[in-house]
Amino acid sequence: MDELDSLSLREGVLSGGERAQKAFLSLWEYYYKRLLFFAGSYRGLPYSEYEDAVADTLIAVFLSLARYDPSKPLSPWVYRIAANRFSDAARRAKRISPVLIGESDGNFPSLEPSVPDTQVSEAVAKDLLEKCKKTIDTLPETDRRIAYLKFYENMNAKEIGTILKLPPGTVRWKIYTIRNSIAVSLGEDYGRHR
């Protein structure tokens, strides 16, 4: 997964004008779909609010880039801001209209890996992916966020811990239990026995 050049992003913001516009577009193109998918892990955040919450997050990130330390990884910093914004939006949604809150309807963007072109392997891969998603959907909210950051964004335990304000050891344990949950759910249909 290609990472954005955080130093050039920061310099673009500081220089203003056309470079700042290009920096914002780069930020938007790289993170928009990823953050929409991440927003799906916040049960209290209505699906109708995902796009607004993501836009709000990307604007906040852009405006804060001048204070960002480019010697540190960009993604955990962006996801920490997103986690705070999504939690705030979910709290506001609960206060404003409890009727809107519900389960995600599953229509958020897909970051599914591509599968080979043969029909059989495509069907098996799709079935496996669906079973994994169903298992992840049954996990507690924090575990779903950890699963997304680990398996879709390929972040390590320290980065995930920074984002979710958890110790890295706790994150590693939760990743272990999430993998076991997925293995158990797949084992029932795919011959894996524990």
Q: What is the pLDDT of residue 79?
A: 92
Q: What is the pLDDT of residue 96?
A: 62
Q: Give CA–CA dist 163/52, Å, rounded.
A: 20
Q: Which fold has domain 119-190?
A: Arc Repressor Mutant, subunit A (1.10.10)
Where are the chain's structural domains?
6-96, 119-190
Tell me the DSSP string of 4-58: P-HHHHHHHHHH-HHHHHHHHHHHHHHHHHHHHHHHTT-TTS-GGGHHHHHHHHH
pTM above 0.75, yes or no: no
Q: Which two tokens stand for residue 12?
A: 């673009």
Q: Which fold has domain 6-96?
A: Rna Polymerase Sigma Factor; Chain: A (1.10.1740)
CA distances from 116 to 74, 112, 119, 132, 194 (A): 32, 13, 8, 18, 29
Q: What is the pLDDT of residue 120?
A: 58
pLDDT band at 194 (very low <50, low <70, confident <90, very high): very low
Q: Give CA–CA dist 64/81, Å, rounded.
A: 10
pLDDT, one tens digit per residue, over 83-125 is: 999 988 888 877 764 444 444 444 444 444 444 445 556 767 7
